[in-house]
């Protein structure tokens, strides 16, 4: 049993496309916690997951029905966020989308919509609270990462 004071480890991924200079966000279903908020996909790390990367791959397979190449994941940073009923430790990774046609294979098993947006447009979307804090906290770092990849 997880101690209520211990943060729950969570992973998420920012899919990005260099040529388009955009990231992909996903809208939660209305019936989910934080319904209709936008987010970077991912989920809880299980005790059986050998690494954060493998946890993320498992979650993305469940949510989008696609496999990620673990070697292409770039760990960005982590934050802790206190929701009313839980505290999470969120680690976010970046993953370059090489072919936009690959995104069309995503099955939205746990989301309502997906959308490509420029990083500067993220503030126009109601992001989940933890994702919003991550973007707010690491905006410069993420801009630098994407600038270095161009």
Under a CB-based contact definition with an 8 Å cutoff, are residues 28 and 39 in contact?
A: yes
Question: Under DSSP, is residue 101 helix (H, G, I), strand (E, B) or coil?
Answer: helix
Residues of the chain above pLDDT 90, percent: 69
Architecture of domain 8-149: Alpha-Beta Complex (3.90)
Distance in angstroms (rounded) separating the CA atoms of residues 41 and 27: 9
pLDDT at 146 over 50: yes
Q: Give the residue, 106 or 3, on which the prediction is more confident.
A: 106
What is the overall mean pLDDT for the chain? 90
* pLDDT tens by residue, 63-75: 999 999 999 999 9
- Assigned token pair, 97: 């989308």
Closest CA relative to residue 76, chosen from 13, 129, 9: 13
The confidence score (pLDDT) of residue 3 equals: 47
8 A C-beta contact, residue 93 and residue 73: yes
As a whole number of angstroms, the distance between CA 65 and CA 53 comes to: 16
Half-sphere exposure of 15 (CA within 13 A, CB side): 26
What's the alpha-carbon Rg for the chain, to the nearest Å? Answer: 15
- pLDDT one-digit tens code per residue, 53-63: 999 999 999 99
Residues 6+ apart with CB under 8 A from 20: 100, 116
Q: What is the pTM of this model?
A: 0.90
Q: What is the pLDDT, as a whole number, of residue 100? A: 82
Band (pLDDT 50/70/90 cuts) for residue 147 is: low
The domain limits of the chain are 8-149
**3-state DSSP helix/strand/coil % of the chain, to nearest 5:** 30, 35, 35
Residue 19, both tokens: 């040529």
């Amino acid at each position: 049993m997880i101690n209520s004071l211990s943060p729950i480890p969570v992973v998420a991924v920012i899919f990005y496309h260099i040529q388009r200079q955009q990231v992909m966000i996903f809208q939660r279903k209305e019936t989910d916690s934080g319904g209709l908020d936008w987010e970077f996909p991912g989920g809880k790390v299980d005790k059986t997951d050998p690494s954060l990367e493998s946890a993320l791959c498992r979650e993305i397979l469940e949510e989008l029905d696609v496999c990620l190449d673990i070697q292409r994941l770039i760990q960005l940073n982590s934050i802790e966020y206190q929701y009313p009923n839980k505290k999470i430790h969120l680690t976010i990774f970046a993953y370059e989308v090489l072919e936009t046609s690959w995104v069309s294979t995503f099955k939205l098993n746990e989301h309502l919509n997906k959308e490509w947006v420029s990083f500067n447009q993220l503030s126009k979307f109601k992001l989940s609270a933890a994702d919003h804090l991550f973007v707010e906290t690491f905006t410069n770092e993420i801009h630098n990462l994407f600038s270095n990849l161009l």
